[in-house]
Amino acid sequence: MTSSNSASTKRRVFSGMQPSGEAHLGNYLGALRRWVDMQDEYDCVWCIVDDHAITGGGDPAELASNVIDLAVSFLAVGLDPERSIIFVQSDVHEHTELAWLFNAVTPVGELERMTQFKDKSQRFESIPAGILNYPILQAADVLLYKADAVPVGEDQRQHLELTREIARKFNAAYGETFPETEAIIEKDVGRIMGLDGEAKMSKSLGNTVAILSEPEQVWDRVRTAVTDPQRVRRTDPGRPEVCNVFSLHGFFTDADARADIDAKCRSAEIGCVDCKRILSDNIVTAFEPFRERAAHFRANPAAVRRILDDGAEKARSIAKTTMAEVRQKMGMDWRSSID
């Protein structure tokens, strides 16, 4: 089964990102740059998942700015409201409704088996049900739009498998309704380590750099990056193959310049600071157009709100069609049988 959008023969993709403020380098390399490219080929739906963001607590006072900063980041990198549906999850109430209905077909054992649940639940003395049920809402996000495919990082593979299982179980219980959505896994993502060289890039770990940072802020972050741990002194020869900074050059520095850095690092002709300076400059250059577009949207918050409202309206019209079908199949349209 393919997407229900008869106006388009393109395959539909859906993906979501949690609002934790401005997007960072990891979000960009791991997700956003792919999403931007997909806009030509697919019928795209991009969602800011605020309902997901509150599952483990979080500061209510920060949610508004976190959502808007992520929306500005989306628009700044080139997600285009003319070509994609860009919206906020809680603007379309059908997400939480479908998630509730999916409770009926989701085995608790599967939820407890999720690696992310096991990791996250360790942080709580009393585990909120939202942490356990998180993947049900994610399945609802995807299946509400009958998405053919979902671009995600390796860490979401398991959640997508569960999404498919929920679709299968629903179809088996209530009749063929949902596609078995394919995961498009970005292979590089797993390998993009934070600037600390230890963990995946994440804002909360402070091992990344916000994509809309000013040039000096980019340098402040890149300067702290961990390099080859065996290169202690400036005169020690370095090993680019084990250096996290060198691997980041792979995204921002052309092949000739990389070969030059590689050779000069091995011969200790340049030091780590020199190498980081080049990386920082190249990141600043690559993100310059993003900063310009962001400035435009920051100066026009009403325009951002309008884009999100428009997106929600388009999303809702698809969501309503799916929900009518789901309610009917589950008997939740019982009202219509009462005269």
The residues annotated as belonging to the active site are: 120, 200, 203
Closest approach, Cβ 178 to ligand TRP, in A, equals 14
Closest approach, Cβ 53 to ligand TRP, in A, equals 9
What's the longest Cα–Cα distance across the chain? Answer: 87
Specify the residue, 14 or 74, whose C-beta has the smaller distance to ligand TRP: 14
Closest residue to ligand TRP in the complex (CB): 16
Tell me which H or E stretch contains 117.
helix 115-121
| Secondary-structure percent of the chain, ordered helix, strand, coil, rounded to 5 | 60, 10, 35
Specify the residue, 18 or 207, whose C-beta has the smaller distance to ligand TRP: 18
The answer to whether the beta carbons of residues 111 and 165 sit under 8 Å apart is no
Beta-carbon neighbour count of residue 244 at 10 Å?
Answer: 19
Tell me which H or E stretch contains 125.
none
The amino acid at 334? W
Distant-in-sequence, close-in-space partners of 187: CB < 8 Å, separation ≥ 6 = 154
Specify the residue, 49 or 265, whose C-beta has the smaller distance to ligand TRP: 49
Q: Provide the binding-site residues for ligand TRP, judged by CB under 6 A.
A: 14-18, 49, 52, 138, 141-142, 150, 152, 156
The amino acid at 214? E
Closest approach, Cβ 88 to ligand TRP, in A, equals 12
The answer to whether the beta carbons of residues 17 and 27 sit under 8 Å apart is yes
How far is residue 11's CA from residue 236's CA, in Å, rounded to a whole number? 52
Q: How does strand 84-88 pair with strand 43-48?
A: parallel
Closest approach, Cβ 185 to ligand TRP, in A, equals 11
The answer to whether the beta carbons of residues 182 and 151 sit under 8 Å apart is no
Specify the residue, 47 or 323, whose C-beta has the smaller distance to ligand TRP: 47
Closest approach, Cβ 56 to ligand TRP, in A, equals 11
Distant-in-sequence, close-in-space partners of 41: CB < 8 Å, separation ≥ 6 = 10, 11
Specify the residue, 200 or 249, whose C-beta has the smaller distance to ligand TRP: 200
Closest approach, Cβ 17 to ligand TRP, in A, equals 6
For the chain, helix (H) and strand (E) counts, in that order, are 14, 5
The answer to whether the beta carbons of residues 261 and 253 sit under 8 Å apart is yes
Residue with tokens 């980081």: 276
Specify the residue, 19 or 81, whose C-beta has the smaller distance to ligand TRP: 19
